[in-house]
Structure 1
Amino acid sequence: MMLSFFDQFMSPTYLGIPLIALALVLPWTLYPTPTPRWLNSRLLTLQGWFINRFTQQIFMPINPGGHKWAVMLASLMVFLTSLNMLGLLPYTFTPTTQLSLNMGLAVPLWLATVIIGMRNQPTAALGHLLPEGTPVLLIPVLIIIETISLFIRPLALGVRLTANLTAGHLLIQLIATAAFVLLPLMPTVAILTATVLFLLTLLEVAVAMIQAYVFVLLLSLYLQEKRL
Structure 2
Amino acid sequence: MLSFFDQFLSPTFLGIPLMALAITLPWTLFPKPLAQWATNRWLTLQSWFINSFVQQIFQPVNVRGHTWALILTSLMVFILFTNMLGLLPYTFTPTTQLSLNMAFAVPLWLATVLIGLRNQPNHALAHILPEGTPPALVPVLICIETISLFIRPLALGVRLTANLTAGHLLIQLIATAAFVLMPIMTTVAILTGMLLLLLTLLEVAVATIQAYVFVLLLSLYLQENV
TM-score of the two chains, using structure 1 as the length reference? 0.98
Deviations along 1:195-215, one digit per CA (max 9) or x if unpaired, are 000000000000000000000
Aligned positions of 1:74-153 closer than 5 A: 74-153=73-152
Aligned-partner SS, 1:130: coil
Q: Does 1:71 align with 2:77?
A: no
Paired with 1:75 and 1:4, the residues of 2 have a C-alpha distance of 34
Runs of 4 or more, structure 1, over 4 Å off, are none
**How many residues end up aligned between the 2 structures?**
226
- Residue 16 of structure 1 deviates from its aligned partner by 2.3
Structure 1 equivalent of residue 20 of structure 2 = 21
Identity of aligned residues (%): 77
Paired with 2:202 and 2:65, the residues of 1 have a C-alpha distance of 33
- Residue 154 of structure 1 aligns with an amino acid whose one-letter code is P
- Residue 155 of structure 2 aligns with an amino acid whose one-letter code is A
Deviations along 1:31-70, one digit per CA (max 9) or x if unpaired, are 1100111111111000000000000000010000000000
What value does the CA root-mean-square deviation take over the aligned residues? 0.5
Aligned-partner SS, 1:93: coil
- Residue 17 of structure 1 deviates from its aligned partner by 1.7
Structure 1 equivalent of residue 163 of structure 2 = 164
Deviations along 1:82-140, one digit per CA (max 9) or x if unpaired, are 00000000000000000000000000000000011100010110000011111110011
State which drifts further: 17-26 or 61-70.
Answer: 17-26
Aligned-partner SS, 2:132: coil
- Residue 18 of structure 1 deviates from its aligned partner by 1.1
Aligned positions of 1:206-221 closer than 5 A: 206-221=205-220
Paired with 1:17 and 1:123, the residues of 2 have a C-alpha distance of 50
Aligned-partner SS, 2:61: coil
Paired with 2:166 and 2:126, the residues of 1 have a C-alpha distance of 37
Paired with 2:190 and 2:35, the residues of 1 have a C-alpha distance of 51
Aligned-partner SS, 1:3: coil
Aligned positions of 1:164-183 closer than 5 A: 164-183=163-182
Structure 2 equivalent of residue 225 of structure 1 = 224
* Unmatched 5+ stretches in structure 2: none
Structure 2 equivalent of residue 196 of structure 1 = 195
Structure 1 equivalent of residue 35 of structure 2 = 36
Aligned-partner SS, 1:133: coil
- Residue 47 of structure 1 aligns with an amino acid whose one-letter code is Q
Paired with 2:12 and 2:122, the residues of 1 have a C-alpha distance of 49
Aligned-partner SS, 2:151: helix
